[in-house]
Structure 1
Amino acid sequence: MLQSFGPEIWINDGPVVDGMAGFHYPTRMAVIRLSTGDLILWSPTALTNDLRGEIEALGPVRHIIAPNVLHHMSLPDWHTAYPEALVHAMPGVAEKRPEVRFASDLGETPHLAWAGEIDQVILPNSIADEAVFFHRNSGTVIFTDLLQNLPATWFTGWRRLVARMDLMTGDLPRVPRKFRMALRPKAIVRARLDQILDWPAQRVLMAHGTPVTEHAREFLRGAFAWLK
C-alpha cells in the first residue's frame, strides 16, 4: 500500500527478496509526482494489481528508475505494464535485463524530464555504483543500498553475525563496511558527497532501512563522518 512520505512523494514496502549467499532483504519503492503530473517510479517493488491501481490514481507513469545494478528484479513486469514509460538505469543494468528497452543511463546530469525538481549524484563504488537523488519539493534524499539498517533479529545464524559486523543492522541507518571499502576513488566520492551534504535535506529515504524524518542534514553528516 502506498504511504505519503512528503509533498508529491509516496513509498511502498514490497515483499522480501533473496540476495546472495542466502541473505534476504526487505524492498521499498518511491513514487514521485512531477509538476507536470507525470510519475517517476524509483526502484519499483513487485507489481501487484492493488499497487498498480493506487499508482494510476496518482497520475500517468512516465519514468522508471533502476538506481543501481542490484535493483532490477521487477523491471520487466513494470516495463510490460507501462511500455510507453522511459526506463532509466545505472550502466550495467541493461546487460542484466536484455528484455527491457532502456531509454538512458543515469549520470551526473538529471534527465530533462526532472531537471530542476530532482537533483542527482553518482557515488562510485566497486560493488554497485549508486545514483543518489534529492527531491526538492519534499526535501528527500534517496539512497538505495549505501545506507542500511535492518533489525538485529532480521537474519539468523552466521548471517546475523556477518550482518552485525558489516553494520547492516542497528538502530540507525549506516553505511555497511563493505561499501565503505568499495567507495572509490575517495577524492571523487568526497567531492560528490559534499554535494549531497549541501542539499537542504529534510528527510532521508533508503531501500533497506528506517527512513529518517528529523534532523536529516545532521544525520547525513554523521553517517558519512568516517569518510572525511
Structure 2
Amino acid sequence: MPKFNDKWVVQPHGPLIELDRGLWTVEGEIVMPLGRFPRRMTVVALSDGRLLIWSPVPVDRATLQAIEAKGRIAFLIVPGIGHRLDIRAWASRFAKAQVLSPPGAREAVGEAVPVTATIDILGDPDVSFAAADGTDGKEGVLRVIRDGRLTLVVNDILANVRHPHGLGAKIMARLFGFGISRPRMPRPAKRMFVKDGRALAAQMRGWAADPALTRIVVSHGDVIEDDCAAVFERAAADFD
C-alpha cells in the first residue's frame, strides 16, 4: 500500500487567492530533492454556502481559518489516483465531509479513506463533478459557473508548470512533459490514465467551443486565463 500522510503535514504554500466569486485557490509545493514541485488546491463555494475542496493540501492555520470563514467544508474531492497523499489528514480533521473520487480511482482512493461517492452528489446547479471522457473514469473534472463564466478545474489531463523551482523540479517537469513550453497532458498521465485518446480530445474540443470558457485551473502549475480555447485545441491535437 502506498504511503499516505496520516498527520497534517504542511509543506510550502501561498495564500488563499480569489479567482472568481466563490472560487479560490492555494498554490503549494511538494519538497523534493533539489527543488520544489508545484501542486494546487481549489476551494469552491456551493450555492447553499457549503464548500468543496478539490485536491486537498494541508495548509497553515491562517490559511485554513480563511477557508473555514468562507463556509462549512462539506466535500473533499480526490480528483485522481496521484492525489491521495493528504486525504487521510483532511478526512480526519473534517470527519463529516464526504469524500468524492472519479469511479476509476475509487479503489485506489479507498486505500487511504472510504469514498462516499463517485458521481455528482453536490446538488448545485452551477457546480458539477464528473469523470473526464476517455480516461476510464480515472480523472475528475469540475465545472464551475459564475455569472455566465465557466471555470474548468482539471487534474492530470493538463499541466502548466511553466516555472518549476529548483533543478530537480525542472528536470522532472521537462522529462515528464508537465507543460514547460505550453499546457499539455504529462506523459506519465497520458500513459496511465488515457484509455481512449479520441474521446478525451473530443471533449477538450467541446470545452474549447464553449463561449463561456473563461479559466482552466490545473492541479500542477499556473492557472490558465488567456486563450483557454486554444489551450484545449492544442492539447486535443496531441492525441491526433
**TM-score (ref. length: structure 1):** 0.81
Q: Following the alignment from structure 1 to structure 2, what is the Cα–Cα distance between the partners of residues 224 and 185?
A: 12
Structure 2, unmatched stretches of 5+, are: 1-14
Letter of the 1:16 counterpart: I
**Cross-structure match for 1:156:** 167
1:176-214 superposed Cα distances (whole Å, 9 cap, x missing partner): 233344422234334443443344310011111111112
Count of residue correspondences? 219
User: Where does 1:78-89 land on structure 2 (aligned, <5 Å)?
Assistant: 78-89=90-101
Assess if the C-alpha contact under 8 Å between 1:69 and 1:92 holds in 2.
no
Shift of 1:33: 0.4
Assess if the C-alpha contact under 8 Å between 1:17 and 1:27 holds in 2.
no
1:27-86 superposed Cα distances (whole Å, 9 cap, x missing partner): 211110011111111111114322221111101111110000111112112112211111
Assess if the C-alpha contact under 8 Å between 1:13 and 1:45 holds in 2.
no
Q: Following the alignment from structure 1 to structure 2, what is the Cα–Cα distance between the partners of residues 47 and 10?
A: 14
User: Where does 1:48-63 land on structure 2 (aligned, <5 Å)?
Assistant: 48-63=60-75
Q: Could you say what secondary structure the match of 1:193 adopts?
A: helix
Counterpart pick for 1:120 among 125, 130, 136: 130
**Cross-structure match for 2:228:** 216
Counterpart pick for 2:144 among 127, 135, 159: 135
Q: Could you say what secondary structure the match of 1:4 adopts?
A: strand
After TM superposition, the runs of 4+ consecutive aligned structure 1 residues lying more than 6 A away are: none
Letter of the 2:199 counterpart: I
Q: Following the alignment from structure 1 to structure 2, what is the Cα–Cα distance between the partners of residues 195 and 153?
A: 30
Q: Say which structure, 1 or 2, has more relative contact order (CA 8 Å, 6+ apart).
A: 2
Q: Could you say what secondary structure the match of 1:79 adopts?
A: helix
Counterpart pick for 2:111 among 66, 85, 96: 96
**TM-score (ref. length: structure 2):** 0.78
**Cross-structure match for 1:6:** 20
